[in-house]
Structure formats: structure tokens, C-alpha cells
């Protein structure tokens, strides 16, 4: 086994922040498996590739012999993490949270090993927590500390309301770390403040504070915003092989290296070679990336997905000639379909989308909330008769 110092270097590979490197080395020097916490709030039913960046880091700890403690935030999801939000996040109902939570276990175990894995729900300790105990915990924290968060301080300056339950969210997620006695907590860079609050509460509770380690935020398929289902720039881990492959093939060349780095286990020198257009054609590099992504979730299906895509797009099943469709820089998918004048009403357009009758550069678009930010040249297919349009920016 690698020495503690070498293990620290391995764990820091691909990380953004760590608090602190020295503390992690000391914990490793104990010679006992670490408890590595990751909290996920089931705020939506699907996990996408953006979520897998931190899950892959957690798997790295598992492979090194440590215990992954995955907290399904079924209680905190009722409150809603305000991280990165310019306004209060809408609260979910218990029924919505429970429905989402049931899908999470199956999806995260497509990345994590079932060995050395503890899966717990934070409702186990937060739901029965007496109110006076919550007050005692909250008394260890200050409003001034919470106002150090960029999103809170900006909202305060802009006169945007900050509700008390948003502060309580930070208290509860920090208490999760105390309850599971975490040695390390992982999160995306947008979670750093939350992780640091957990360190503070553990220290104030007489525990050895957790090490906070963050991973990058994955850029979505649009090449600009972070991956998000609400923006329609995502790839879900439960999508079928062809859908996954097609979506990767539709991504901008500029973010290929980022995706190779964060979503595959290829060596750095191989990634550099693949992303060097003078050595490897971008289409071939993207094909390799798409296959790497697909095989991680659909073993043995990557070649089949590539062949299906090649037949549909490279073999000219898409017509050479098609009308241009003038579109604004940003448009909702329903309005985009209405521009084609194929569906007679918005209701028909919505049904067409939900039934899989709309494709954009290959992948089907079925989420009515999808926002399209066309760069120009994308191929839109609409309807059972497969009418094609080439998007043209106005």
C-alpha cells in the first residue's frame, strides 16, 4: 500500500480545495480506514454526469480501503440547499423527496462499489431531534459566519430575502458530519462553505474536525453553464447507451479535455494526445470520449451505440438539404418546436416533446423545461415524419 504521503497526493489529483493536506495525512497515518462522507439531497429524480465527478472521487477512497458514507439527505431536501441560488429555493414535499430518494441508490451504485459503503438517510437522526437540541447546536454558530457566504451576502446587499430555514439547512447538514463522525467530507466547489461549517461544528462538539475536499463543477453540453437538468445540458446516468453516446458527440470540442479529465480514468499523457487536434481529429477524439462514458454505465454497449449513431448521422440518414430555422440566442424547447409550425398548439408541442418526437443533434429532448442556447448549425428533428431543420442564430 502507498505511504500516507503518497495517498494524499493521489486523493488530491483532480481536487480543487483541501482543508487541510496535513490533517488528511495525519488521519491516514492512524492506519485505520477513514470514514468519507458525501451528502446528496434527492431534489430531483435523476443523477447526471456532473454528480459523478465527486462520486468518482468517493470511489477512489473506497478503492484505497476506506469507507464511503453516503448520506441521502431526505430530511435536508425538505428544506433545500440555497447554495449558489440567487433566491430561496422552492421546498419539496415529503412525497416528492421520497420518490426521488428511491432512484438515488440504484444510480449512485453505478459509480460506487457496494463494498465499504454505508448508505444512511439523515431523517434517521434529524426527524426525531428535539427542538431544544437543534437550538443548542445552532447556538454554536453565528449569523456573521453564515453571512460570509457569497450568495447570502450578495442577496443581503441586493435586498433579496434570506429566510431563517436557509440558515437551519447549514446547521442540519453540518450536524450530519457530527452524527456519522466523518473523517473527510467531499463536495463540489460550490459546497465548500457547507463543508467548512461541518468542520466548525465537529470541532465545537469535541470531535476531530473533518477534512474538507472539493472537486470541480462539470461544464454542461452547452459548453458554458454547469451541467444541469433544468438547463437541458445534461447526460443522466440512467440514459440508454445510444442517448449517452449521442449527447457526448453533440458537445463542443472546447470542453473535451475537461470531460476526459473528470469523467475517465485515462492517463494524462493519453488525454493530452487525444485533445491535440494536430494528432487526433476532434471527431475521433469525441468518439473515444463517448465510448469511455458509455462503457462506464452500459458495459459492452459502446460499440453498438457508436454504430447506431454512425448509421444515423454519418451515413446520411439525415438529409443533405433542410430549411433553416431562425432562432434567438436562448429559447425554451416548447417555443423552439412551435417555430417549426408543425404542432398546431403549445399543448400538441408539449405532447410531441414528452413522447420523444423531438431530437436536437441526435439526442431526444423530453424535458419541457429544457432551455436551448444554439450556436447555429444544430439539427432539429420534429415529428414522426422526421422533418429536419438547421438552426440559424438571428
Contacts of 279 (CB under 8 A, 6+ apart): 273
- pLDDT tens digits, 88-130: 456 677 888 888 888 888 899 899 999 999 999 999 999 999 9
Q: What is the percent of the chain where pLDDT is above 70?
A: 95
Supply the pLDDT for residue 91. Answer: 65
Between 319 and 55, the higher pLDDT residue? 55
Domains along the sequence of the chain with CATH:
4-215 (3.40.50.620), 239-317 (1.10.240.10), 318-394 (3.10.290.10)
Burial of 285 (0-12, 13-18, 19+ CB in 10 A): buried
Q: What is the DSSP string of 75-118?
A: THHHH---TT-SSPPPPPPHHHHHHHHHHHHHHHTTTS-STTEE
What's the whole-number mean pLDDT along residues 191-207? 94
| Contact call for residues 75 and 121 (beta carbons, < 8 A) | yes
| Per-residue exposure over 237-248, b if at least 16 CB sit within 10 Å of its own CB, e if not | bebebbbbbbbb
Phi first, then psi, for residue 74 (nearest 5°) are -70, -20
Mean pLDDT of the chain: 89
pTM for the full predicted model: 0.80
What's the whole-number mean pLDDT along residues 176-189? 97
Supply the pLDDT for residue 151. Answer: 81
Helices 164-180, 131-138: axis angle to 10 degrees equals 90
What's the whole-number mean pLDDT along residues 140-152? 86
Between 155 and 43, the higher pLDDT residue? 155
Flag whether pLDDT at 352 surpasses 70: yes
Flag whether pLDDT at 81 surpasses 70: no
Supply the pLDDT for residue 129. Answer: 95
Q: What is the 3 state secondary structure string of 137-199? A: HHCCCCHHHHCCCHHHHHHHHHCCCCCHHHHHHHHHHHHHHHHHCCCEEEEEHHHHHHHHHHH
- pLDDT tens digits, 3-26: 899 999 999 988 999 999 999 999
Local confidence band at 290 (pLDDT 50, 70, 90 cut-offs): very high
| Contact call for residues 62 and 19 (beta carbons, < 8 A) | no
| Contact call for residues 282 and 253 (beta carbons, < 8 A) | yes
Amino acid at each position: 500500500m502507498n505511504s500516507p504521503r503518497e495517498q494524499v497526493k493521489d486523493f488530491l489529483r483532480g481536487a480543487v480545495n483541501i482543508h487541510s493536506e496535513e490533517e488528511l495525512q495525519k488521519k491516514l497515518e492512524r492506519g485505520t480506514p477513514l470514514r468519507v462522507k458525501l451528502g446528496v439531497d434527492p431534489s430531483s429524480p435523476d443523477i447526471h454526469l456532473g454528480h459523478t465527478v465527486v462520486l468518482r472521487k468517493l470511489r477512489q477512497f473506497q478503492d484505497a480501503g476506506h469507507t464511503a458514507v453516503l448520506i441521502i439527505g431526505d430530511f435536508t431536501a425538505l428544506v433545500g440547499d440555497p447554495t449558489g441560488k440567487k433566491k430561496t429555493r422552492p421546498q419539496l414535499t415529503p412525497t416528492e423527496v421520497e420518490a426521488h430518494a428511491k432512484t438515488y441508490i440504484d444510480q449512485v451504485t453505478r459509480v460506487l462499489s457496494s463494498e465499504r459503503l454505508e448508505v444512511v438517510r439523515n431523517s434517521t437522526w434529524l426527524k426525531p431531534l428535539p427542538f431544544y437540541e437543534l437550538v443548542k447546536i445552532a447556538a454554536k454558530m453565528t449569523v456573521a459566519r453564515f453571512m460570509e457566504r457569497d450568495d447570502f451576502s450578495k442577496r443581503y446587499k441586493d435586498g433579496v430575502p434570506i429566510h431563517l430555514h436557509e440558515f437551519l439547512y447549514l446547521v442540519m447538514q453540518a450536524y450530519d458530519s457530527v452524527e456519522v463522525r466523518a473523517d473527510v467530507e467531499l463536495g463540489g466547489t460550490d459546497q465548500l462553505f457547507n463543508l467548512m461549517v461541518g468542520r466548525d461544528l465537529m470541532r465545537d462538539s469535541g470531535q476531530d474536525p473533518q477534512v474538507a475536499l472539493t472537486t470541480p463543477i462539470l461544464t454542461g453540453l452547452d459548453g458554458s453553464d454547469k451541467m444541469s437538468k433544468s438547463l437541458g445540458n445534461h447526460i443522466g446516468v440512467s440514459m440508454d447507451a445510444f442517448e449517452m453516446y449521442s449527447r457526448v458527440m453533440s458537445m463542443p470540442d472546447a470542453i473535451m479535455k475537461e470531460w476526459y479529465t473528470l469523467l475517465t480514468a485515462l492517463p494524462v499523457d493519453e488525454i493530452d494526445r487525444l485533445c491535440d487536434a494536430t494528432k487526433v481529429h476532434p471527431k475521433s477524439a469525441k468518439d473515444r470520449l463517448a465510448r469511455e462514458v458509455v462503457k462506464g454505465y452500459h458495459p459492452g454497449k459502446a460499440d453498438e451505440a457508436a454504430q447506431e449513431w454512425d448509421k444515423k448521422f454519418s451515413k446520411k440518414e439525415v438529409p443533405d438539404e433542410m430549411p433553416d430555422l431562425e432562432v434567438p440566442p436562448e429559447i425554451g424547447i416548447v417555443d423552439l418546436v412551435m417555430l417549426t409550425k408543425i404542432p398546431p398548439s403549445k399543448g400538441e408541442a408539449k405532447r410531441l416533446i414528452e413522447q420523444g418526437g423531438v431530437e436536437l443533434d441526435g439526442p431526444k429532448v423530453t424535458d419541457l423545461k429544457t432551455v436551448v442556447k444554439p450556436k447555429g448549425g444544430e439539427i432539429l428533428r420534429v415529428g414522426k415524419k422526421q422533418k429536419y431543420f438547421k438552426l440559424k442564430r438571428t
